[in-house]
Amino acid sequence: MKKIFFSMLIVALGAASCTKVNENVYDKYAATQFYSTAAGADVALASVYAKITGSWGSNYAGRDNCWYDLNCYSSDEQVIPHRNTGDWQLDFAQLYTRTELPSLGIINNTWNWAYSTIYSANLSIAQLTAAKADPSKIAEAKVMRAWLYYLLIDDFGDVPFYTDNNTDISKIPQEKRATIYNFIVSELKGNVDLLSETRGGAYYGRFNKWAGYMVLAKVYLNAEVYTGTAHWAEALAACNKVASGGFALHPASANTASALGNSYYDLFGDVCPNDETIWALFITQNVISGNIYTIRSLNSPNGTALIGFPGWNGTIIPSEYYDKFDNADIRKKQFLVGAQAGGVTYSKEVSSLIDPGAGPNEGIRDDKFFPVKPSDGSGESNDFPVYRYADVLLMQAECNVRLGNAAAAAPFLNQVRERAGLTDIGSPTLDNIYDERGFELNMEGHRRQDMIRFGKFLLPHGFVQTTPSYRMLFPIPTAALNANPALKQNPGYPN
C-alpha cells in the first residue's frame, strides 16, 4: 500500500509540475543585497585573491611562468640554464642574460595575469560599492588593485590604465608611469586606514592595514625610479606604520624538526609564522595553487632521496651570488653544492647557460622552501611570504642612510644580521644594505627591483654583459600591442 501511495504521489506531483510553474525561491538574493552582507563581500574579494594565487602561468608566486619568474630570473640571484641534455627552454636564461624579446611567453603571461586580476578587482569594487558594503571591504579591493598597478608600472613603465570594466580593450589609454604612481599613492592613502588591523586568522593571506602600509612603503621606496623624485621620508614613515603593528623577527635557533636544522626556515614552510609575516599566499598543493621552487631546483635522484619525488633539475644559484654569503650565515644552509644525497655532486660553476647549455649536475641548488606535505612531483604546499618584517627593517635602514643618518640605520640592519649569526655594522652604507637584502630576501621576488633602485642592474655579472638602460623595463608584450593599436612599445625593443 505504501508503494502504491508513493507512486501515486509522484504522478500527482508530475502532473502538477506540468501545469503550475510558479515557485517560491528561498536561496537567491539581489546582487546588492548579497554583496552588502559580510559573507557576500568576502565572496567578491575572494574572486580577486584567487587570481593572485592563481595557478600555472597565471599567478604572483608559487607556480611558474608568470610574475615571480619574470622578476627573479631577470636578476642575479637565480637562473635556469638550458641543459646540454636538451632540458629546459631558453626563456629563463634569456631573462637572466637580458636578451628577452616582446614575444616571450613569461612576459605575456605576467601582463595577462595582472590585467585579468585588475578586471576582477574593478568588478569587486563596483559590486561592493553598488551594494553599499562595509567600507573596509571596498577599501580592501581598492588596495589590491593599487598593488597590481604598482607591479605593472614596476615592470613595464607606462601601461594601460582603467578602473571601469565597461571599456573597449582596444581603446584603453596607455598612461604615464608617474600618473599611475600618483593614483596608487592616492588610493593607498585613502583606503589603508580603513582596513582591518587583525593579523592572522581570517586575515592570513589577506590585505590588512599593515600589508596596505607595506605596499605604500614599497611604492614610496621606489618613487625616484618611477617619477624621478625621491620620497625617502615618506617611505620611512610608511615603514614605521607597519612596524607599529607589533611584528617581530621570527627566532632563529637550532631545530632538529626543521629539514634545514634551524627555526628560521619556519618562515618558508607550511604556514608562515604570524610574528614576522605581514602578508603571505596560502598554498596547498593541487588544491590552491602550489609551490615549485625547491622541486624545480633539485635534480631527479637528489630530489628522490630528499623528498621522495624526482626534482626537475632546473634552478641554479650563480656562484658569484653564493660567494657573497658568510660561512657563519644561517641563510647559507639553503644552498646545496658538492656531494649530496642520492649520489649527486653539484658543481659550483656552470659552463654555459644557452649554447650548448649546462651539464646535468652543474650549478648550486636551493631548498629554502623545503617541501611540506601535501606534496608530489609537481609541487609542494609551502605558503609564500610576499612581505615580511625583516624587509621592513631593511627598508628602515635604507631610508635612514639615504636621508643621511647611518647611525640611526644601524639598529635596523643589525637586527637582521644578528639573527643570521653575523656581526654588527656600526655605520652601514647603501652597499651593506643592498647586500643584506640579497642575503635575507633571495628567492622571494625582490631582487630585480632592488638591483634597479641601488643602481646595480646595468652592471655586468657572471654571464651577463653590461646592460643597456632601456632593459630596466620589460617590453610590452607583442600580443598586447596587437590587441590595442594605441599602445607604444617601450624604447629599445622591437614590436
C-alpha distances (whole Å) from 335 to each of 79, 316, 340, 384 are 14, 9, 11, 18
Question: In this predicted model, what pLDDT tens digit does every residue of 91-149 receive, in sequence order?
Answer: 999 999 999 999 999 999 999 999 999 999 999 999 999 999 999 999 999 999 999 99
Q: How far is CA 232 from its chain centroid? A: 23
Task: Record the cell numbers describing residue 338, joined without a space.
Answer: 658538492
pLDDT of residue 19: 41
Delineate the domains of the chain, giving CATH numbers in brackets: 35-195 (1.25.40.390), 300-366 (no CATH)
Name every residue whose Cβ is closer than 8 Å to that of residue 11 and which is 6 or more positions away in sequence: none
Question: In this predicted model, what pLDDT tens digit does every residue of 409-426 receive, in sequence order?
Answer: 999 999 999 999 999 999
What is the CB-side half-sphere exposure of residue 310 using CA atoms within 13 A?
3
Contact 281, 386 (CB under 8 A): yes
Instruction: Report whether the peptide linkage leading into residue 374 is cis, meaning its omega lies within 30 degrees of zero.
Output: yes
Low-confidence residues in the chain, pLDDT < 70 = 1-29
Nearest 5°: the CA angle 75, 80, 82 is 130
Question: In this predicted model, what pLDDT tens digit does every residue of 320-336 receive, in sequence order?
Answer: 999 999 999 999 999 99
Whole-number mean pLDDT of the chain? 94
Contact 104, 115 (CB under 8 A): no
CB-based burial, 292-323: b 16+ in 10 Å, e otherwise = bbbbbbbbbbbbbebbebbbbbbbbbbeebbe
